Amino acid sequence: MADSTRPDDHVPEEESAAAARAPESGAPAAETDAEAELAAAVGATEASEVKQGDEPDTDDAASAEGIEEDELTVQDILDAADLEASDPSSEHLADLKRVTAEYANYRKRTEANREIERERVTGEVAKVLLPVLDDLYRAEKHGDLEGDSAFATIAAKLRASTERIGLKPYGSVGDVFDPTVHEAIFQQPSADVEVETVGDVVETGYYLGSSLLRVAKVVVQVPSDG
């Protein structure tokens, strides 16, 4: 009897199982696996972003904390100044000594400059009075200031006033000639002297304090050869 079974009626069991596992949509298995892997990767990325967004910025937190720690109050500064004043460091103590010495030198220079300036101004005023004093000296040589005349009284007051401001006359007959403070306008031989000597004062010299204001003009007697 001939076999009536057709070849198509005998389907292997493995092929039947594969057909059963295939998606109903008819899409290939390879494409379905790729889509699954892509979805998993996207989900992992979104989860990582959410996790990172929840974490605080460590650097910003550290910076904020550092700012709070570095802030100083007025009281902190005052306390530090009091501590430095009560127990200064060796470096600051050396600076203090240096500043103190510089200030002391500055005061000395200032006082010296002030005295020099005072003498300069006084000297300018005294120079204006020198011609008047010269006239009084000549009047005295001619005997015009003798007695209790009003002119003699005024002359005495004027001389006293100039002495109070430090003006001192110098140059007298008989003084040893000194070229540093005397100006010789004439030399006169004399057997009465052994060294050059002031024989006559033509114009009185003056000191203002310790400064030479004007040299004295004098006639000098020099020892004669005979």
pLDDT tens digits, one per residue of 139-189: 888 888 877 778 888 888 998 988 888 899 999 999 999 999 999 999 999
CB 123 within 8 A of CB 208: yes
> Domain 113-223 - what CATH class?
mainly beta
Ordered by start, the domain boundaries in the chain are 113-223
Q: Which two tokens stand for residue 96?
A: 């203090």
Is the pLDDT assigned to residue 25 strictly greater than 60? no
**Closest-CA residue to 187 (of 200, 176, 175, 174):** 200
Is the pLDDT assigned to residue 212 strictly greater than 60? yes
Per-residue confidence (pLDDT) for residue 36, from 0 to 100: 65
Task: Check residue 176 and report its DSSP letter.
Answer: B
| Top-confidence range, 9-13, 34-38, 132-136, 140-144 | 132-136
pLDDT tens digits, one per residue of 108-134: 889 888 888 888 888 888 889 999 999
pTM of the model as a whole: 0.51
CB 173 within 8 A of CB 200: yes
